[in-house]
């Protein structure tokens, strides 16, 4: 791993500080998952509920465990 010089370290820190406060939040996808969609090893069965922090789905693990 390459170490940063003092100037590079300052540049990176300044860039992070500037962008973390000025970038608008990214829009979230509004559509939900549908029955039968596969996410990694899970098959979506149904939506259980949704709220301010997200959506909860019932899903089945195709690998078990």
pLDDT at position 29 is 57
Q: Is residue 13 part of a domain?
A: yes
pLDDT at position 57 is 93
- Return the C-alpha torsion angle 38, 43, 45, 48, nearest 10: -80
Report, as ranges of residue numbers, the positions in the chain whose pLDDT lies below 50: 1
pLDDT at position 1 is 46
Q: Is residue 11 part of a domain?
A: yes
Q: Is residue 1 part of a domain?
A: no
Cα angle: 48, vertex 52, 58; to 5 degrees: 15
Domain that holds residue 19: 6-61
Which residues make beta-bridge pairs with 49?
Answer: 56
Number of domains forming the structure of the chain: 1
């Amino acid at each position: 791993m390459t170490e940063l010089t003092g100037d590079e370290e300052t540049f990176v820190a300044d860039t992070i500080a500037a962008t973390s406060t000025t970038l608008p939040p990214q829009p979230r996808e509004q559509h939900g998952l549908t029955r039968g969609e596969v996410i990694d090893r899970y098959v979506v069965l149904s939506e259980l509920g949704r709220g301010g922090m997200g959506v909860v789905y019932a899903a089945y693990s195709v690998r078990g465990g």
